Structure formats: C-alpha cells, structure tokens
C-alpha cells in the first residue's frame, strides 16, 4: 500500500513538473506503447548495451524509455543537460542499482561517465518490474548488475535549460 501511495505521489509531482512547461508547448505529448517499443528496438539494434526511446525532451524536463543490456558506468548528473532529479520506473527486467556514496573515476578520467567509474559506499538495491527509484540531482548512481536486461521509464526534471 505504501508503495502505491509513493508511486502515485511521485507521478503527481512529475505531472506538476511537466505542467510547468513553456506556454508555447503543445497541450500534451502522446506516444503509443508500440511506437515507443519500436523506437527502442531500433535504438537497441545500434547499441544493445544501452538504448533509449525519447518520449518528450523539453527545456525543463526529459522523458525517455531506457533499456540496458549490461551494467553501465557510475555517474552523477550535477551539471550539464542531464542535470536534474531523476525518477526511474522499472517497466521490465531486473538489476542491481547503487545510489549515493562516492563516485570513483579511473585514474586520468576527468569527466563524468568517463571510463568505468564505480561507486564506493552507497546503498545497493535489487530492483524489478514495478519498482521506483528517485535519484536527487547530483547523486551518484549506477546500474551495477543487469539480469538479462532492464527497461525503465526515466523522467528528469529541473534539467538545465537548452540554449
């Protein structure tokens, strides 16, 4: 029950953030599940390790469906166009996710996402279909292990404005 209340409150917060868009934006964005999955499949043909299907990427928010076929590199979106709080809603599959802690970059790596960055410390959780992860802006996070594949709805809000 608490999980459902949490999901509903997060969806309400996300909806409120999305509604605070520019006056010139369209009244709504609609993409069918089949359209999204076709775009995701086409993206996965190019890169089976990580593919995405954009739903709507505007000035103040970004909404995508992401499919990971293998673990990623640890990252923390503190600056740049990916900056902002993220919500990941697991649509399918399972993974082990680490959040918080200290981001460790390989020797010589100067930028986020460079090389095989990892996280020291942090909280490790196993996530499956229906789970939600809320990642505050700048928080290190890492899909450390992927069981086959994991697909999730990714909503980022309060991102840096496009220039």
pTM, to two decimals: 0.76
Residues constituting the chain? 163
Higher pLDDT, 149 or 159: 149
**Coil/strand/helix, residue 42:** helix
Alpha-carbon distance of 133 to 156, in angstroms, equals 12
pLDDT tier at 113, thresholds 50, 70, 90: very low
Q: Are 117 and 74 in contact (CB under 8 A)?
A: yes
Give 91: exposed, middle or buried? Use CB within 10 Å, 0-12, 13-18, 19+: middle
pLDDT for the residue 27: 80
What mean pLDDT comes out for the span 137-152?
95
Alpha-carbon distance of 98 to 113, in angstroms, equals 15
> What is the distance, to the nearest Å, from the Cα of residue 18 to the centroid of all Cα atoms in its chain?
16
pLDDT for the residue 122: 94
pLDDT for the residue 99: 96
What mean pLDDT comes out for the span 115-125?
91
146 beta partners: 95
Q: What is the pLDDT of residues 34-93, one digit of tens each?
A: 888 888 888 888 888 998 888 888 878 888 999 999 999 999 887 766 678 999 999 999
pLDDT for the residue 15: 54
> What is the distance, to the nearest Å, from the Cα of residue 138 to the centroid of all Cα atoms in its chain?
13
């Amino acid at each position: 029950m608490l999980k459902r209340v949490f999901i509903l409150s997060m969806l309400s917060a996300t909806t409120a953030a999305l509604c605070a868009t520019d006056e010139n934006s369209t009244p709504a964005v609609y993409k069918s599940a089949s359209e999204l999955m076709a775009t995701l499949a086409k993206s996965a043909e190019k890169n089976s390790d990580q593919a995405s299907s954009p739903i709507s990427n505007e000035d103040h928010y970004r909404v995508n469906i992401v499919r990971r076929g293998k673990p990623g590199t640890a990252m923390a979106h503190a600056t740049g166009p990916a900056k902002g709080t993220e919500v990941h809603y697991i649509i399918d599959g399972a993974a082990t996710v680490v959040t918080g802690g200290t981001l460790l970059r390989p020797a010589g790596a100067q930028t986020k996402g460079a090389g095989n960055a990892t996280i020291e410390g942090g909280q490790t959780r196993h996530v499956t279909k229906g789970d939600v992860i809320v990642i505050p802006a700048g928080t290190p996070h890492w899909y450390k292990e992927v069981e086959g594949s994991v697909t999730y709805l990714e909503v980022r809000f309060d991102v840096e404005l496009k220039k």
